[in-house]
Amino acid sequence: MSPPTAAEDAANLLWIEVEDVRSNPHHDQLGRFSSADGVRASLATAASVGEVDSVLRGELKSITGRDVDVNQAGSDLQIAREHAEGILRVAERFPDARLHRVATYGPGGSSQLHPPDTSQYALTGKGTSSSAIYFNTHYAGNADRYRQAMENDVNVGWHPKSGHSAVGTGAHEMVHVVANGRPKAESAARATAQTAAKQAGASTVKQHVGRSIGGYATTNKAELAAEAVSDVILRGKAASPLSHDIFDQFDRAQT
């Protein structure tokens, strides 16, 4: 069965990502540049965005068994590699992820999904049977701008440390895809945070989550789960104890 078209995605999917960039109150303070995170050899040696797309398509087919439509047109080459790496790291841990598309929107992007804007790095659209990830070329197409914004997000405590590279963005979006197939997973994440905040004697759950993970994780239960689970996958033991507790409950919430 072929995946739905991008136009069908625009009409049918429920879009999530709550103003990832604009709602960061410190977004205009520029941080220092980060170095690129490591990507697997098959992606590092891909010489064009089209080759990165082919590698990602092949790896996703072998990991998940699914045919995924991949087109990161308008993306910087290294950023495309990093987005692909993040998606694959989560797919390897959660091969039940139901993804049908990886695309781009904005100037030079592969879809007309959304009017060009600067408010999100990416969007995940959830459908009834599968999900789609769209990266914003305002960032994906301008590596310097994107890396400055991401580094700043980490420096001000908006994202955990894995959020300093595009690997983190790809992984974060892919956790939303996994959660779409696990209806109880996000509520389990929230319940875990509530219990942990009480045990820690924090005055509010928001305060505990903000200090342990980051500001974006306090937005809602979907972002809480995406931030915690992606940070554990990318940073392992360096992720916070709360993120590990959330990961364990998310992992158990199979249905």
Contacting residues toward Zn ion, per CB under 5 A:
17, 223, 226
- Between β-strands 99-105 and 131-136, what pairing exists: parallel, antiparallel or unpaired? parallel
Token pair of 120, please?
Answer: 């999100």
Is the Cβ of residue 49 or residue 233 nearer to Zn ion in the bound state?
233
Closest contact distance (angstroms) between CB of 20 and Zn ion is 7
Smallest separation, CB 62 to Zn ion (Å): 26
Smaller CB separation from Zn ion, 152 or 169: 169
Nearer to Zn ion, 17 or 245 (CB): 17
For the bound state, the minimum distance from the C-beta of residue 65 to Zn ion, rounded and expressed in Å, comes to 25
- For Zn ion, the nearest residue by Cβ is 226
How far apart are the C-alpha atoms of 110 and 210, rounded to whole Å? 35
Minimum distance, C-beta of residue 180 to Zn ion, in the bound complex (Å) = 12
- DSSP annotation string for 66-131: ---EE--TTS-HHHHHHHHHHHHHHHHH-TT--EEEEEEESTT-SB--S---SS-SEEEEE-SS-E
Closest to 80 (Cα-Cα) out of 174, 167, 207: 167
Q: Is 134 helix (H, G, I), strand (E, B) or coil?
A: strand
Helices (H) and strands (E) in the chain, counts: 11, 5
Closer residue to Zn ion, CB minimum distance, 17 or 151: 17
- Distance between CA atoms of residues 46 and 54, nearest Å: 9
Residue with smaller CB distance to Zn ion, 55 or 214: 214
CB 88 to Zn ion: min, Å: 18
**Least distance (Å) from Zn ion to the CB of residue 198?**
25
189 touches 221 (CB < 8 A): yes
- Give the helix/strand (H/E) hosting 144: helix 143-155
